[in-house]
Structure 1
């Protein structure tokens, strides 16, 4: 296998993307995963979906359902669905899950037994199913040389058949992009088929001489024949390189498919998506496609005593905006809770929560919102759950809430699309650091740490952006670097540029900052690559033990107060040098320092250890999850000179500033608490008037402020004339 001369060069072409829909912010629903629901229900369901103001029905059209014999395609049901959708004024979002989730045709595996995925232990993936794929989940490796041959033949039948149909809306080119077999793998490793390893070695050969590879991997290979793929994350240096190959490999496959579909169509939008939080592969694969997106959880937020944990979803929305080409993204899978068949583990999603996810998608610049799904998945124990209609197709409160929200958004259509002003605060994500934690079985904890300050500041109505080292940071007032452990060339270039500049953002690092070199091994002189610019060294490491908690030795003294740290909190013991000043201690040990110019602050422990939440933000993740204490977060902003866009007095709400297409600002306000909120809103910028667009009334201004009253789960949209 060879990587070819066009490695990662192909992608979807730039195109106009908003012409397919009759609304500036379309909402839709996943509807058909063959063979359910049966066709006799479609007409009435489509009538109800259209009457609700929804614009899209989504189809998950699996390969094994269509190409039942070699080069023999059965599109009869999809033909009928397209025609019926057109009759009801709906667009079809059609997924072609050729590289993910669903099974390839059985005849393909019989013809090519070596197409089955080989795991790292040499075992071969057998036929299987999943909650998302009752009649077959993915068993094939898309690196097989015949995969592209069959995919191209299939797409040359599929795309021309529907590209000119009036109902076509969006091509779902690659849903949930991941390693081959990621959705059926018993453990999170890529495939190890001979042809995949041969492709990896060819990739190495194109990027390294043998001597350079030895230097990169700290090995003594004397022949290319000795080079093999690593089979354990316990070897982080080699595994980091192997996963880099696989991420580029996914991007190459995605770009090839996107280019092919564009050559066959070239008009309609193509999309792919990741998960509900950052992933190390997202920045590599997302540029290959027109728009990015996510699936996300939706329950056990407003049904807990921590309703502001809904920020976990807003965090994922912001990440998608950061990753999408030209910031274009879709909220393509709003789940209606993972109920879990006959043994429910979660509360149902409330209608108010479903409505708020639509609003938050709009607020965070989404191209549109999609529910997963209309009816439940009748064929598996994914049902009952995820749905907005009941088993008999009748509306649930989630459907009714979506209907009402769509009608409200229609009333502000002339202000859309929104423009989102740059925030003063950025939270930086490091994919290599995510890998380092994942390799040590701490991947879930890494995301919880990374999300911790976002959750706290979101509840305080503080605007934030999510960034990576590949993006510009210089215009922010503060950039937070949670567990920025691995400092590779990109991260070092960004950090050195800012530290050497005469002005720029206040940098706040915490946790295992700079403890790993870019290759993936522990640093020989932390902070890696920055010891000439940062007058501080790591003297040692320690952890808060149960004994420390019992003896009261788990207290960190910070400038803003003292905070108790839970058992298991790890920390670096810092040794300040030169003019660098200690600012935080645990007992006699320094765990926080600040540079003489005040622009760099380093805490040796994760700030997420200062508070906690029982809502983890990820299904199945152990509680509690870390949070940054309100007082710590407020102190960080004050040190960096950051002020909120609003002063809010009275009951707590969450407020956002956006720019209207009509000029002026839009203030979105949400109430996530189970009681009415009466709040005085004072914008930081001067306004001449304020109009409640949903209430269709002008608001009285007093010293530039106005009052709002919001019920549980309600939203307000205020158009302000800025002066």
Structure 2
């Protein structure tokens, strides 16, 4: 699908107006300044109760003025239509349809609430009530028809932070809605998937009638909650599809957008496939410190996941928080200008369609203020705005090289969303994400590009696939792994930690790893842990053919047993904790690599064993090298110094180049055998253009 385009290869914008703030008197001066500083887009997002305070009476004079002023200043508009995002529906809708209120797992209606991001009322209406589509659809139609032909119109934000209807207040207890409309839809969904006997067999119940079914209200009801969550995630996707299709019917020119958070959620993939592009929001402060490489890697991991999810890899970093979060009277540590600069450049390098900052001015009305801002409360520029303005100029200087091209990755890491889901039931959702991030970080920090993928990906396109905590073996997981095992291609699989402990319905497997035990030549003998006491007395040495490594933090491990010709490849205190199958294309390590000492050496050995070709390397810790294809010719090398001091870095390229120019300093580099040295500033970026021989 072709969208309306902005005449730059990488548009950059800011969120500006939300439900009454900033006040109209400052708009003209601000829009002039926004354009002068090189921004292309202004984003507005107003809540439903602000846009339609009376039934059928749309109060959009402020949005009209916003569009006209944007046009006058040569800016484009990104408008969010917030029928299902954060904020409240109109008061008249609740009064007319009291049963539109979402209901929590305890059977209580969600009461009026608020949050720093939606101080004018938290969302408490359920999407499954017919009135939501009836009246929300009318507002959607009105807004699209009103602005679709405006010269400044650029993109429709259809669902910001897509999530369950109960997610926007603590009253929801982190579970779905339990109103009568949602329950009715769920029962019909079950009927379309199962007979009553099939359902009973799947969830180990003895329901006599469909009316007997109890809706699961605790994550400890694992088998039934997996089904209820699956229904709710498919339901989210269906509601998003309805809004997008309704928008496209009226306007097939402008992009439709939705986004999640910067931390993956189990419903991301099913929702992302519906929209024209995916995206995220992310905090920007507290990044540049002694843990800068780890913290920045976590952001880049989110970029890689968004790029995978986006249709045709189309994604936006649509909310880089422009200042500290949180704000309020007890504000947090302020964002450094360099933190915004690095996030902006990383967004560009990882293939985003553009970047948006949240916000230009503070929000004023609630405790997001005085944070999240490029301009001060009085509208004057902060150091962060000055830094971003300079970066916009620097990005313009490399326009001829854009869009950047990616080299094919040799390494991929699977993010299995259903396995993530079951980890959340055990209150280990964060640990699940941390392990994937850890695998990504150790390749990324060494200049190796690892893709983040799902089971839908053709795994045979890679040399090395890592499978962290693939705990539920669904059909798509089984098929994707089995295709590799049965192929003659040079692709190796490495599972870590929890693998195949559950069958696809959530029941613990009777023969783990489920569906793979005989094929891989392994059975689970038992489970154990390395405790702090074990570490203190030295019972923590892992023996492998790659070398010996210490377990340096308490961790769980799985005790394995060889069968069918498999080979032990890791021992811990006499226990087998790693096996390799007979064909030597699958290994399983029953522990987290994050627990190891000297991880850099371990990952280097792993890469060498699997013949991973490293295009670029550096001789300084916390200097991150990233290489991309130039749209002009040759390659661009981006070097990020995440150290808290200046440094000189030696760069080695394993590709033949004939010249190198530091575009940051406009200096020709001295090359010797594809090696050159670069002087780098603290928290700085150097951009090197190299031509092939």
TM-score bucket (shorter structure): over 0.9
Mapped to 1, the partners of 2:342 and 2:98 lie a distance apart of 48
Task: Tell me the residue number matched to 1:485.
Answer: 471
User: Which deviations, in whole Å up to 9, do the C-alpha atoms of 1:415-450 show, x marking residues without a partner?
Assistant: 211221221111111111101110011111111111
Task: Tell me the residue number matched to 1:257.
Answer: 243
Paired residues of 1:652 and 1:677 also in contact (CA < 8 A): no
1:94 aligns with 2:66: no
Paired residues of 2:256 and 2:276 also in contact (CA < 8 A): yes
Pick from 120, 135, 138: which aligns with 2:123?
Answer: 138
1:585 is displaced (CA, Å) by 1.8
Pick from 362, 387, 397: which aligns with 1:411?
Answer: 397
- Give secondary structure in 1 for the equivalent of 2:320: strand
1:658 is displaced (CA, Å) by 1.4
1:233-382 to 2 correspondences below 5 Å = 233-335=219-321, 336-344=323-331, 346-382=332-368
Instruction: Identify the range of structure 1 (563-572 vs 248-257) with the bigger mean alpha-carbon deviation.
Output: 563-572
Paired residues of 2:554 and 2:595 also in contact (CA < 8 A): no
Residues 242 and 650 of structure 1, relative CA distance in 2, 3 Å threshold:
closer
Paired residues of 1:355 and 1:713 also in contact (CA < 8 A): no
Residues 559 and 377 of structure 1, relative CA distance in 2, 3 Å threshold:
farther
- Give secondary structure in 1 for the equivalent of 2:13: strand
1:651 is displaced (CA, Å) by 6.6
1:505-654 to 2 correspondences below 5 Å = 505-565=491-551, 568-610=554-596, 629-649=599-619, 653-654=623-624
1:308 is displaced (CA, Å) by 4.2
1:677 aligns with 2:677: no
User: Which deviations, in whole Å up to 9, do the C-alpha atoms of 1:180-210 show, x marking residues without a partner?
Assistant: 1312243211100011010011111112222
1:108 is displaced (CA, Å) by 0.2
1:384 is displaced (CA, Å) by 2.2
User: Which deviations, in whole Å up to 9, do the C-alpha atoms of 1:487-539 show, x marking residues without a partner?
Assistant: 11100011111112233321111111111111112111011101221111110
Task: Tell me the residue number matched to 1:434.
Answer: 420
User: Which deviations, in whole Å up to 9, do the C-alpha atoms of 1:331-359 show, x marking residues without a partner?
Assistant: 00111231342223x42211111001111
1:66-215 to 2 correspondences below 5 Å = 66-186=51-171, 187-215=173-201
1:570 is displaced (CA, Å) by 1.1
Task: Tell me the residue number matched to 1:8.
Answer: none
- Give secondary structure in 1 for the equivalent of 2:297: helix
- Give secondary structure in 2 for the equivalent of 1:516: coil
- Give secondary structure in 2 for the equivalent of 1:438: helix
**TM score, norm. by length of structure 1:** 0.93
User: Which deviations, in whole Å up to 9, do the C-alpha atoms of 1:629-674 show, x marking residues without a partner?
Assistant: 2222222212211132113235752111212222322222222212
Mapped to 1, the partners of 2:373 and 2:202 lie a distance apart of 49
Mapped to 1, the partners of 2:291 and 2:606 lie a distance apart of 26
Mapped to 1, the partners of 2:466 and 2:103 lie a distance apart of 41
- Give secondary structure in 2 for the equivalent of 1:465: strand
How many pairs does the alignment contain? 691
- Give secondary structure in 1 for the equivalent of 2:303: helix
Mapped to 2, the partners of 1:79 and 1:370 lie a distance apart of 21
- Give secondary structure in 1 for the equivalent of 2:387: helix
Paired residues of 1:309 and 1:455 also in contact (CA < 8 A): no
Mapped to 2, the partners of 1:128 and 1:308 lie a distance apart of 36
Instruction: Identify the range of structure 1 (366-375 vs 222-231) with the bigger mean alpha-carbon deviation.
Output: 222-231
- Give secondary structure in 1 for the equivalent of 2:518: coil
User: Which deviations, in whole Å up to 9, do the C-alpha atoms of 1:150-183 show, x marking residues without a partner?
Assistant: 1111112111111111111111000000111312
Mapped to 2, the partners of 1:139 and 1:307 lie a distance apart of 39
Pick from 447, 468, 475: which aligns with 1:461?
Answer: 447
Task: Tell me the residue number matched to 1:33.
Answer: 18
Instruction: Identify the range of structure 1 (262-271 vs 659-668) with the bigger mean alpha-carbon deviation.
Output: 659-668
Mapped to 1, the partners of 2:511 and 2:294 lie a distance apart of 40
- Give secondary structure in 2 for the equivalent of 1:540: strand
Paired residues of 1:463 and 1:644 also in contact (CA < 8 A): no
1:329 is displaced (CA, Å) by 0.2
- Give secondary structure in 2 for the equivalent of 1:77: helix
Residues 112 and 214 of structure 1, relative CA distance in 2, 3 Å threshold:
same
Task: Tell me the residue number matched to 1:385.
Answer: 371
User: Which deviations, in whole Å up to 9, do the C-alpha atoms of 1:461-498 show, x marking residues without a partner?
Assistant: 11110011101110211111111111111000111111
Paired residues of 1:582 and 1:594 also in contact (CA < 8 A): yes
1:43 aligns with 2:28: yes
Mapped to 1, the partners of 2:416 and 2:621 lie a distance apart of 36
Instruction: Identify the range of structure 1 (354-363 vs 558-567) with the bigger mean alpha-carbon deviation.
Output: 558-567
Paired residues of 1:478 and 1:508 also in contact (CA < 8 A): yes
1:244 is displaced (CA, Å) by 0.9
Paired residues of 1:169 and 1:268 also in contact (CA < 8 A): yes
Paired residues of 1:102 and 1:133 also in contact (CA < 8 A): yes
Mapped to 1, the partners of 2:237 and 2:672 lie a distance apart of 54
Gaps of 5+ in 2: none
User: Which deviations, in whole Å up to 9, do the C-alpha atoms of 1:187-238 show, x marking residues without a partner?
Assistant: 2111000110100111111122222222322322232112232111101111
Residues 124 and 478 of structure 1, relative CA distance in 2, 3 Å threshold:
same
Mapped to 1, the partners of 2:247 and 2:324 lie a distance apart of 34
**TM score, norm. by length of structure 2:** 0.97
Mapped to 2, the partners of 1:700 and 1:593 lie a distance apart of 47
1:321 is displaced (CA, Å) by 0.1
Mapped to 1, the partners of 2:480 and 2:293 lie a distance apart of 36
1:666 aligns with 2:624: no
Mapped to 1, the partners of 2:426 and 2:419 lie a distance apart of 11
1:84 is displaced (CA, Å) by 1.0
1:710 aligns with 2:657: no
User: Which deviations, in whole Å up to 9, do the C-alpha atoms of 1:83-112 show, x marking residues without a partner?
Assistant: 111111111111111112010000000000
Residues 653 and 567 of structure 1, relative CA distance in 2, 3 Å threshold:
closer
Gaps of 5+ in 1: 1-14, 612-627
Mapped to 2, the partners of 1:111 and 1:128 lie a distance apart of 19
Mapped to 1, the partners of 2:636 and 2:535 lie a distance apart of 48
